[in-house]
């Protein structure tokens, strides 16, 4: 296996704070009763309409395996297929193969588990951060406790329209609703309360006009207070409505400096005061008039692996442009999806890394990252990959 100082893994970041640990990438659901990580009482999350159990158990956790490393074991109900592991080993030789164990194995000792959320299915003392604190930090209302500019929040009885309604704890952007008048507000609340069965808090936020972009920034906060800047993703190319995250590594340092004093430092201080350490993602609306913090997720994000791979691809191979894509209902089988990516990669015009590929009741789903020298080359590789089969595009959904 080749090595590279730029092949940073999720495990290597965690290892600097925890001598021993597990990483459990599965997210909870409050709408799939048969799901192992069903949060029904204390740590409810709005994820309605919810994704399938297969997606929760296999597709979503695999986002993180390509760059997870072997420093700490990853806990999953079902590990990745052999052809997927071979794909990563072939095209990402600097990254060691992740060690995958079952959740039951991880619960047999006193080693802490790094989770992406508070989970009712595992004991409090097994969480790397107390689940009460983790849940509170991930509430949308906690954003108001950070000393950074945010959009104005409004009382339900004194609203101005249009306004953005946000469910206090939601997943995959499902809890964000734009309402334009009192009738739409009443209908939206009725849907949330009666149809979706959500009895938790909702927030009301002003709509910021004339938005230029909404970058998503990510860093690792160590126990010592040191920061490791992971990178920045931005919405898709023009016309790429289905792209959830685009990286231009030429702007890596520029984006870090853009938000450091006004947002990164206050977020760091807030989280450190509450005892949090680990990966952090935050989103900032940028306009000509100013910048506004609109989301904070203290957890390992869906785009963490892509950003870690983007550093490696940019620094070692000069592939400074990349994007993440999400597709469902492939006409190909998962093994065939991997084989097609391998054929394209062998031509040497860039790289397609399939992060996951699995079948559920609706067909084959996959997520893949594309790395190339220019945005046009990323676009060309994308169309090569989806040609000769019918795929329905879907949003990656990072605004949670």
Spatial distance between the Cα atoms of 194 and 278, rounded to a whole number of angstroms: 36
- The two tokens of residue 362 are 């609706």
Is 211-386 the same fold as 152-206? no
The CATH class given to the 211-386 domain equals: alpha beta
Query: How would you classify the pairing of strands 176-179 and 163-167?
Result: antiparallel
Please report the pLDDT score of residue 395 as a whole number: 35
What integer pLDDT is reported at residue 172 of this predicted model?
79
pLDDT tens for each residue of the chain, 400 residues long = 578 999 999 999 999 999 999 999 999 999 999 999 999 999 999 999 887 777 787 778 898 999 999 999 999 998 899 999 999 999 999 999 999 999 999 999 999 999 999 999 999 999 999 999 999 999 999 999 999 999 999 999 999 999 999 999 998 788 999 999 999 999 999 999 999 999 999 999 999 999 999 999 999 999 999 999 999 999 744 433 344 689 999 999 999 999 999 999 999 999 999 999 999 999 999 999 999 999 999 999 989 999 999 999 999 999 999 999 886 666 788 999 999 999 999 999 999 999 998 887 667 888 999 999 999 999 999 989 887 654 334 333 322 2
- Could you check whether the bond before residue 49 is cis, i.e. omega within 30 degrees of 0? yes
Compute how many other C-beta atoms are within 10 angstroms of the C-beta atom of residue 374.
12
Cα–Cα distance between 52 and 377 in angstroms, integer? 33
Tell me, what's the pLDDT at 238? 42
Q: What per-residue string of b and e applies to 27-58 under the rule 16 or more CB within 10 Å gives b? A: bbbbbbeebbbbbeeebbbbbbebbebbbbbb
pLDDT of residue 251: 97
Domain extents in the chain: 10-137, 152-206, 211-386
Question: Which DSSP helix (H) or strand (E) runs through 326?
Answer: strand 321-330
* Topology at the third CATH level for domain 152-206: Dna Ligase; domain 1 (3.30.1490)
Tell me the pTM: 0.92
């Amino acid at each position: 296996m080749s090595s590279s100082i730029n092949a940073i893994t999720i495990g290597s970041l965690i290892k600097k704070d925890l001598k021993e640990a597990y990483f459990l990438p599965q997210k909870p659901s409050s709408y799939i009763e048969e799901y192992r990580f069903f949060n029904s009482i204390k740590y409810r999350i709005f994820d309605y309409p919810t994704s399938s159990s297969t997606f929760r158990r296999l597709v979503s956790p695999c986002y993180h395996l390509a760059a997870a490393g072997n420093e700490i074991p990853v806990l999953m109900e079902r590990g990745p297929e052999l052809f997927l592991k071979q794909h990563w080993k072939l095209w990402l030789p600097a990254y060691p193969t992740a060690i995958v164990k079952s959740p039951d194995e991880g619960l047999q000792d006193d080693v802490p588990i790094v989770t992406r959320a508070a989970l009712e299915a595992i004991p409090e003392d097994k969480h790397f951060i107390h689940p009460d604190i983790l849940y509170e930090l991930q509430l949308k209302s906690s954003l108001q406790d950070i000393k950074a500019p945010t959009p104005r929040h409004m009382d339900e009885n004194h609203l101005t329209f249009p306004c953005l309604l946000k469910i206090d704890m939601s997943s995959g952007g499902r809890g964000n609703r734009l309402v334009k008048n009192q009738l739409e507000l009443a209908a939206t609340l009725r849907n949330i309360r009666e149809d979706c069965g959500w009895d938790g808090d909702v927030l009301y936020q002003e709509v910021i006009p004339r938005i230029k972009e909404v970058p998503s920034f990510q860093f690792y906060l160590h126990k010592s207070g040191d920061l490791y800047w992971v990178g920045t993703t931005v919405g898709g190319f023009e016309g790429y409505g289905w792209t959830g995250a685009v990286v231009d590594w030429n702007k890596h340092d520029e984006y870090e400096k853009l938000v450091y004093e006004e947002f990164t430092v206050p977020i760091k201080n807030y989280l450190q005061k509450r005892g949090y350490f680990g990966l952090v993602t935050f989103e900032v609306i940028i306009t000509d008039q100013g910048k506004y913090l609109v989301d904070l997720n203290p957890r390992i994000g869906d785009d963490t692996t892509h950003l870690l791979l983007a550093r490696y691809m940019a620094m070692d191979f000069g592939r400074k442009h990349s994007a993440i894509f999400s597709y469902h209902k492939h006409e190909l089988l998962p093994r065939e999806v991997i084989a097609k990516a391998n054929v394209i990669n062998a031509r040497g015009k860039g790289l397609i890394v399939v992060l996951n590929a699995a079948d559920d009741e609706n067909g084959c789903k996959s997520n893949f990252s594309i790395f190339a020298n220019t945005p046009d080359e990323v676009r060309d590789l994308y169309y090569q990959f989806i040609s000769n089969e019918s795929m329905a595009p879907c949003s990656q959904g990072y605004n949670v």
